[in-house]
Chain A
Amino acid sequence: GAGVSQSPRYKVAKRGQDVALRCDPISGHVSLFWYQQALGQGPEFLTYFQNEAQLDKSGLPSDRFFAERPEGSVSTLKIQRTQQEDSAVYLCASSVLAGGLVETQYFGPGTRLLVL
């Protein structure tokens, strides 16, 4: 399909383990966003890329969270030394252009992370 894809869909990690979550945006989309959605809550912004440049990482909760998009397409969100509070659904979204109020963000199905 032509939508945003994410892998893995589910990830169980032991506390202290490192994890890597992948996002494949819609081809040609300039902007890419990561959001974290805790159980029963709305998504919360983590970070934003315009092509390969990470322009906003103000939402990353700690220095254990790291995101990259080296070639301006696929992005990886890495969480080091996972903690139980990291358990959430991680959503990736992309949009066509670099900005604009009306730009629609298209979301992937998310990666559900459970840290034991």
Chain B
Amino acid sequence: AQKITQTQPGMFVQEKEAVTLDCTYDTSDQSYGLFWYKQPSSGEMIFLIYQGSYDEQNATEGRYSLNFQKARKSANLVISASQLGDSAMYFCAMRERMDSSYKLIFGSGTRLLVRP
């Protein structure tokens, strides 16, 4: 079974509107971290936001917020007030405590296109 599932291959959003990118995960570990990265066409992965499994509040970083629903094992990224520069690939990733190398496990990504 896939550990990270992103079901939206592509999304469109109108500039200045909000958009939600979906992510569900699968783990038996009680302690884990969830990450979102942005990958523009230049190729570099840019860290956006982090949510720990024991964090009671949803993480927020500027225009980014993470809608964390632990029971549903979902960690959706919400981007508010979309900008043209938000057009990129977005990846959800997980790191598990029981993995001693703390590697990131990525989903297949969602391509977001912001329309002017």
The chain A residues found within 8 Å of chain B, CB to CB, are: 31, 33, 35, 40-45, 48, 55-56, 59, 89, 91, 93, 99-110, 112
Contacts and interface: CB of A to CB of B under 8 A. Distances in A.
Given A31-B102, A103-B102, A89 B108 contact: no
Contact of B50 (A31, A41, A104, A107): A104
A106 B103 contact: no
Interface residues on B, range: 20 to 34
Contacts of A105: 47, 104
A11 to B, nearest CB: 14
Which of B46, B102, B105 gathers most chain A CB within 10 Å? Answer: B102
Contact of B47 (A55, A59, A106): A106
A43 to B, nearest CB: 5
A55 B33 contact: no
